[in-house]
Amino acid sequence: MKLLNFLKPEITEKNTDDDFFAWHGHYLAMDRKKFLILMNDLTRFCVVLYGVQKKHFQNPVDLFKRAIFIAMDSQGYQRPLIQRYIDEINEVTYGKSKNRQLISRLNRAVFSAWVYAEDGLYFDVLEQPQISVRMNREPVGQDQWKIVSFPDQKMDEYLHLLE
């Protein structure tokens, strides 16, 4: 909601359940700059940006494609698989989340990103792959930790489904 209030985009009603291309986003202010965390709905794979301004969202498709590519490349995924995923991103739509569970998961990711940012940020670029890589190697739990997975492994599994 905070991101929607910042961007004031046109809201699109869209069912994103089980959508590999659906992401949730949230930001917080860090040193008076926006620290943006994007989380893939299915894999919980995270992408982190720092210093984002409203002008960067003039072309959100390019912004997100670049950020996702850099995060995935830093994770060590095969570039042809990354490119297949990136090529499928043709538009960015914004909507309000009705899934409280995803919001809770995103809040946990925001906290992790904030903790890892204390170890250092890249100030000359938006993308923060050093944080994304650490976050994506962290275990995440479902159903009160009865099911444990790793976002980097889960994203790799889903990317291979694009082959």
pLDDT tens digit string along 14-51?
A: 777 789 999 999 999 998 899 999 999 999 999 999 99
* CA 108 remoteness from chain centre: 13
pLDDT at 98: 75
pLDDT tens digit string along 67-121?
A: 999 999 999 999 999 999 999 999 998 888 878 888 999 999 999 999 999 999 9
* Cβ–Cβ under 8 Å, residues 55 and 131: no
pTM of the full structure: 0.93
pLDDT at 9: 84
Q: Where are the alpha helices (DSSP H) in 76-145?
A: 79-87, 100-117, 129-136
In words, the CATH class of domain 2-160 is alpha beta
Confidence of residue 2 (pLDDT cuts 50, 70, 90): confident
Q: What are the tokens at 80? A: 């042809």
pLDDT at 5: 78
Q: What are the tokens at 152? A: 């980097």
pLDDT at 75: 97
pLDDT at 14: 77
pLDDT at 11: 84
Confidence of residue 1 (pLDDT cuts 50, 70, 90): low
* Cβ–Cβ under 8 Å, residues 42 and 18: yes
* Cβ–Cβ under 8 Å, residues 75 and 133: yes
